[in-house]
């Protein structure tokens, strides 16, 4: 009986570990892919010029 309980707990814990590591990997992968979309060559300029004549 104790062996069966240990087997079930071990199986469930290994499945949970796999799912958690997969979830973390996907979060890191998505975060890095968002950072790669913005290349260093893309700039956003906001310039305002005001010319006043005296």
Instruction: Map residue 2 onto helix, strand or coil.
Output: helix
CA pair distance 15, 29, nearest whole angstrom:
21
Alpha carbon of residue 54 to chain centroid: 55
Full DSSP string of 3-54: HHHHHHHHHHHHHHHHHHHHHHHHHHHHHHHHHHHS-TT-------------
The per-residue pLDDT for range 1-54, each reduced to its tens digit, is 899 999 999 999 999 999 999 999 988 887 776 655 554 455 566 766 666 665
Report pLDDT for 10: 93
């Amino acid at each position: 009986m104790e062996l069966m309980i240990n087997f079930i707990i071990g199986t469930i814990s290994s499945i949970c570990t796999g799912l958690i590591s997969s979830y973390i990997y996907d979060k890191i992968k998505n975060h890095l892919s968002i950072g790669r979309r913005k290349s260093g060559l893309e700039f956003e300029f906001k310039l305002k010029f005001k010319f006043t004549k005296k």
